[in-house]
């Protein structure tokens, strides 16, 4: 069975600090990985996704993630966070059949102005 | 921009009562998903439809939960009877087709259920 672990449940940063949120997955098949973001009071939105090819994936709003197969990781990064990045971030893995998207527990990010 | 619609946004009910949630996916999206998100956790898939057919309902507590998508468009998720542990956010999502590389699930705003 596939699973996703996000070890950082809460992260507090000051504006302009660099961000890295950890995501480790467990899945034996071809990996399809996602990061979703949920801003306060809003619905889940796709931040970026990895299906194949370049392991460094760029998403919206300056976010990027790197797929490291040997470490079973797909960490999310942003070089300089803004107050508007305050949100909850979810990592997810999709199985080969495309019918099972498994989410991690989420990381709640607070950016102090 | 097309969005997934859900109603109601909030629902408070007493245990043992029946509740129902409605979802209207993005037009043309054949695949529809219902998730449950308990506070502090990530969403968990309850059921997946492809058009009007159930593809996966292995995580749906079938003794009290039911879901339908009769005409392959909008969908209803029902709980009868509701229990205290059902308090959660119920999310609906849709995608054009299942599976990579195109699969992107678009989520609705959710229905927050509180069972008293």
Per-residue pLDDT at B100:
58
d(CA B4, CA B106): 7
The rounded mean pLDDT for chain B is 92
What is the mean pLDDT of the segment spanning B61-76?
Answer: 94
Q: Does B49 touch chain A (CB under 8 A)?
A: no
Which residues are registered as beta bridge partners of A98? none
* Helix runs in B3-108, H state only: none
Per-residue pLDDT at B102:
60
Which tens digit of pLDDT belongs to each residue from B56-66? 898 999 999 99
Q: How far is A88 from chain B (nearest CA, A)?
A: 10
Q: Does B33 touch chain A (CB under 8 A)?
A: yes
| The pairing of beta strand A24-26 with beta strand A56-58 | unpaired
Answer whether residue A19 shows pLDDT above 80: yes
Q: What is the DSSP letter of B110?
A: -
Answer whether residue B97 shows pLDDT above 80: no
Answer whether residue A35 shows pLDDT above 70: yes
CB-hemisphere CA count at 13 Å for A88?
A: 19
B10: CB partners within 8 A, 6+ apart: B111, B112, B114
Q: Does B89 touch chain A (CB under 8 A)?
A: no
Chain A residues inside the 8 Å CB shell of B45? 100-102
SS3 annotation, chain A: CCEEECCCCEEEEECCCCEEECCEEECCCCCEEEEEEECCCCCCEEEEEECCCCCEEECHHHCEEEEEHHHCEEEEEECCCCHHHCEEEEEEEECCCCCCEEECCCEEEEEEC
Ranking A24-33, A54-63, B4-13 by mean pLDDT, the lowest is: A24-33
Q: Does B51 touch chain A (CB under 8 A)?
A: no
Q: Phi, psi (5° rounding) for residue A104? A: -80, 180
Q: How far is B24 from chain A (nearest CA, A)?
A: 15
- Chain centroid offset of residue B36 CA: 7
Per-residue pLDDT at B27:
93
Residue B98 pLDDT level (bands cut at 50, 70, 90): low
Residues in A lying within 8 Å of B, measured between beta carbons: 4, 6, 32, 36, 42-46, 49, 51-52, 90, 92, 94, 96-106
* Closest alpha carbon within chain A to B38: A105
Per-residue pLDDT at A7:
87
* Closest alpha carbon within chain A to B56: A99
What is the mean pLDDT of the segment spanning A58-70?
Answer: 94
Per-residue pLDDT at B18:
97
Q: What SS3 state is found at B85?
A: helix
d(CA A46, CA B32): 16
Per-residue pLDDT at A41:
86
Residue environment code for B29-48, b if the CB has 16+ CB neighbours within 10 A, otherwise e: bbbbbbbbbeeeebbebbbb
Per-residue pLDDT at B101:
59
d(CA B94, CA B110): 13
Under an 8 A CB cutoff, do B42 and A92 touch? yes
Q: Does B91 touch chain A (CB under 8 A)?
A: yes
């Amino acid at each position: 069975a596939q699973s996703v672990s996000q070890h950082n449940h809460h992260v507090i940063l000051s504006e302009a600090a660099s961000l890295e949120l950890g995501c480790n997955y467990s899945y034996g098949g071809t990996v399809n990985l996602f990061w979703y973001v949920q801003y306060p009071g809003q619905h889940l939105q796709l931040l970026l996704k990895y299906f194949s090819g370049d392991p460094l994936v760029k998403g919206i709003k300056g976010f990027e993630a790197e797929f490291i197969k040997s470490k079973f990781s797909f960490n999310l990064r942003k070089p300089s966070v803004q107050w508007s990045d305050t949100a909850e971030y979810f990592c997810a893995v999709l199985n080969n059949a495309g019918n099972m998207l498994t989410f991690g527990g989420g990381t709640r990010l607070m950016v102090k102005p | 921009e097309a969005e997934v619609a859900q109603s109601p946004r909030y629902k408070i009910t007493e245990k043992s009562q029946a509740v129902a949630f409605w979802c209207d996916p993005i037009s043309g999206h054949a695949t529809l998903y219902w998730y449950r998100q308990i506070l502090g956790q990530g969403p968990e898939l309850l059921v997946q439809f492809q058009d009007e057919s159930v593809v996966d309902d292995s995580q749906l507590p079938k003794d009290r939960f039911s879901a339908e998508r009769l005409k392959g468009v909008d969908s209803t998720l029902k709980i009868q009877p509701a229990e205290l542990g059902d308090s959660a956010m119920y999310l609906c999502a849709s995608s054009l087709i299942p599976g990579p590389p195109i699969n992107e699930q678009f989520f609705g705003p959710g229905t927050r259920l509180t069972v008293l």
